[in-house]
Structure 1
């Protein structure tokens, strides 16, 4: 079978590329793969590290530079004054599929490759939302979308794996247009919380439920069995070194707390967060504090799995650190990071927990904390029962049955929906 793939698979963030590798391993190396990317140097590294036995090729989707609004200073001031007075609305520019495709320099290459393919797979993640539409890297979103638009025009089968969708507060008109073009696609949805509601708001009413693309791990990624540390917790934080600085004394208190328990405190970053690494190295000198170092510029997915599944506790704000902890039955305390507000991570994090513990009562506060200080205080409180409650949930028959059910959903989806096996 000839399979085309697009998605955020060229990001060095473990969650994004890890889902892509896990999906490829599940689909198998007896297919031909063609991948649309936006970072050729990194995907070539992935090919060397993970895909030597796959018949796979990559091409970057290349866009012309964005045109800038060249109004005169006088015109700009007049427009700003009209907006302030309420005479004119500040409308957000909504690019149409026509404009996106016209910006693509190598459109012929994409068309040619899609002609050869039986299906286009849109790899999982959380990138169809306001954040990706509005941030300075939105060209990466457009590079993911362009193969979808072309495949739709060619009446190719389009399948979204387990994605999260929304919020669409400021981008709803954009996604209405995009998803209308791909109205016959199959939309995989990784949560039972908000994604289906957001999809419905932009005209998509045929979502199917799946576990996250990294919740069921292919055995090829469980190949490591020797961990560097014997008794340790994982501490993972990203996105705001100032937040760490404001709480450094509290973090030191936690490191010393675990030192008294003969437990190593291992800082694990999902990408090379140099400013955070440098700051923590300079400010935490306890001999049980370690920073996990990785080679080749990125954290290998199999290393992360090994580290997380053997930890006594995972403290994190990355969604996929939570995913890997829960699927491996490891106690985990997660901080939801605001993206405008908490809906984006509420959808992801609580959505994951709802699927894992479907049919069981659980209090989300057992897993999710409001900030670092609150999280640390909960650990230092000897009366706190969060970890014991989590272990009881993990040991329940229903949790195990849910894992079996979700595994079946994923394998059926991969083998029947994508590969067409009987």
Structure 2
């Protein structure tokens, strides 16, 4: 038995939810040596310096030939992805040294990530796992979501998942991920439930230096990464909400972007230009939103309105009422409903109306805030008090058991 570990996944994205899952898993597993296979070496190296400065962690960029990558499509085979990798021998050498690879959690096994603008990164994630499988190196998937897949993409994922023989596939929900995973070629016996990779957040990650001061006045949090066009089209609704929150509720309004640029910070600054009383947590100098800052700001808020899945995960485990707005993905709410309700079911059981937490758009969420805030927040708090402690304990035990049996014991 060895506690060495290779890891691959979407953690090179600056988005809080993507990178923080890696940090949380490493904090729990505490491997002696780690190799991170990444598509952004600079950001991955920054994370290691910030979170694990004294650990033995090697960051390996997955080099992919852009011409070969551009030719990968729904008719491609697993070996086409491997053939596109320029540093295959380096990856194989590091895989053999580690002895196993963890495919970190997230929502990237779906047709959205198979679209041209994300396909190269998906292939950079898949390649180390495919290479490991060829040479009998164990492949373990942690808390991943599967689907939705468009019909023309299913054969590609069937080939990938069938190729990964003897792999263990972790699924972060007990709803549609299992259905889609089986449709895409994963044998039911190889699908294992494991809570989201950020539920719960490891306590040690919340003890570090806080980089953004938590407002001293009572406040609520707003986050959105909806497009600027959407925001401009609904500008009056946002302004009306700001007036209600600040003038009627006497609360400050804090904009908390989870990502740089169009992933949230650009939208936050646009919204602030409509009302200079609104405060933006500007993550541009830091380069990303640290885990403990996000949790502290959310935990101390009166309530949260957000379109980010992991805002829901952070709010629930800190017992902060939340209005979770579900985005369209592939012209449907299915992707967000599956992971949002799937998480709520993990945290709270089937003891509540989904409409208490989940909203189809900001217009609906704002209407509820302006007309039913007290009733909704009171009922959410009742549910948290009744069911969350058990959900947290069960999730903590499930994650520890999964990693002990599937990762640490190998």
Range class of TM-score, shorter chain? over 0.9
Q: Contact between 1:19 and 1:213, CA under 8 Å: does it hold in 2? A: yes
Give 1:228's match in structure 2, choosing from 196, 214, 236: 214
| Match in the other structure for 1:345 | 336
Q: Secondary structure at the match of 1:337?
A: coil
Task: Show the 5 A alignment for 1:62-77.
Answer: 62-66=63-67
Give 1:412's match in structure 2, choosing from 381, 401, 404: 401
| Match in the other structure for 1:268 | 256
- Note if 1:355 corresponds to 2:346: yes
| Match in the other structure for 1:84 | none
Q: Structure 1, residues 183-232: CA drift from partner, whole Å, max 9, x if none?
A: 31111110011001111112211211111001111112111587521311
Q: Secondary structure at the match of 2:67?
A: coil
| Match in the other structure for 1:211 | 195
- Note if 1:35 corresponds to 2:36: yes
| Match in the other structure for 1:21 | 23
| Match in the other structure for 1:44 | 45
Q: Contact between 2:269 and 2:280, CA under 8 Å: does it hold in 1? A: no
Q: Contact between 1:235 and 1:315, CA under 8 Å: does it hold in 2? A: yes
Q: Contact between 2:224 and 2:268, CA under 8 Å: does it hold in 1? A: no
Report the alpha carbon displacement of residue 118 of structure 1 after superposing the two structures with TM: 2.0
Gaps of 5+ in 1: 71-91
Give 1:238's match in structure 2, choosing from 225, 235, 242: 225
Q: Contact between 1:335 and 1:368, CA under 8 Å: does it hold in 2? A: yes
Q: Structure 1, residues 79-118: CA drift from partner, whole Å, max 9, x if none?
A: xxxxxxxxxxxxx642211111111110110111111122
Misfit runs of 4+, over 6 Å: none
Which one has the bigger helix percentage?
2
| Match in the other structure for 1:315 | 305
| Match in the other structure for 1:374 | 364
User: In structure 1, what is the Cα distance between the partners aligned to 2:25 and 2:79?
Assistant: 31
Report the alpha carbon displacement of residue 382 of structure 1 after superposing the two structures with TM: 4.8
Q: Contact between 1:5 and 1:33, CA under 8 Å: does it hold in 2? A: yes
Give 2:10's match in structure 1, choosing from 8, 11, 29: 8
| Match in the other structure for 2:379 | 389
User: In structure 1, what is the Cα distance between the partners aligned to 2:92 and 2:35?
Assistant: 12
User: In structure 1, what is the Cα distance between the partners aligned to 2:300 and 2:135?
Assistant: 47
- TM-score, normalised via structure 2 length: 0.92
Q: Secondary structure at the match of 1:280?
A: helix
Structure 1 65/366 Cα, relative in aligned 2: closer, same or farther at 3 Å?
same
Report the alpha carbon displacement of residue 376 of structure 1 after superposing the two structures with TM: 0.8
What is the number of residues matched between the two proteins?
395
- Note if 1:401 corresponds to 2:390: yes
Report the alpha carbon displacement of residue 259 of structure 1 after superposing the two structures with TM: 1.7
Gaps of 5+ in 2: none
Q: Secondary structure at the match of 2:201?
A: coil
Q: Structure 1, residues 102-147: CA drift from partner, whole Å, max 9, x if none?
A: 1111011011111112210000000000000123121000000011
Q: Secondary structure at the match of 2:269?
A: helix
User: In structure 1, what is the Cα distance between the partners aligned to 2:180 and 2:271?
Assistant: 39
Q: Contact between 1:225 and 1:306, CA under 8 Å: does it hold in 2? A: no
Give 2:272's match in structure 1, choosing from 281, 293, 305: 281
User: In structure 2, what is the Cα distance between the partners aligned to 1:390 and 1:7?
Assistant: 33
User: In structure 1, what is the Cα distance between the partners aligned to 2:362 and 2:373?
Assistant: 19
User: In structure 1, what is the Cα distance between the partners aligned to 2:252 and 2:170?
Assistant: 39
- Note if 1:123 corresponds to 2:109: no
Q: Contact between 1:224 and 1:306, CA under 8 Å: does it hold in 2? A: no
Task: Show the 5 A alignment for 1:92-111.
Answer: 93-111=74-92
- TM-score, normalised via structure 1 length: 0.90
RMSD of Structure 2 on Structure 1 (CA)? 1.9
Structure 1 93/190 Cα, relative in aligned 2: closer, same or farther at 3 Å?
closer
Structure 1 192/171 Cα, relative in aligned 2: closer, same or farther at 3 Å?
same
User: In structure 2, what is the Cα distance between the partners aligned to 1:280 and 1:245?
Assistant: 9
Q: Contact between 2:69 and 2:120, CA under 8 Å: does it hold in 1? A: no
User: In structure 1, what is the Cα distance between the partners aligned to 2:214 and 2:312?
Assistant: 21
Report the alpha carbon displacement of residue 291 of structure 1 after superposing the two structures with TM: 0.6
Q: Contact between 1:224 and 1:303, CA under 8 Å: does it hold in 2? A: no
Bigger Rg over Cα = 1
Q: Structure 1, residues 52-83: CA drift from partner, whole Å, max 9, x if none?
A: 1211001111111225999xxxxxxxxxxxxx
Q: Structure 1, residues 307-348: CA drift from partner, whole Å, max 9, x if none?
A: 111111010001011111111111000110000111111111
Structure 1 146/414 Cα, relative in aligned 2: closer, same or farther at 3 Å?
same
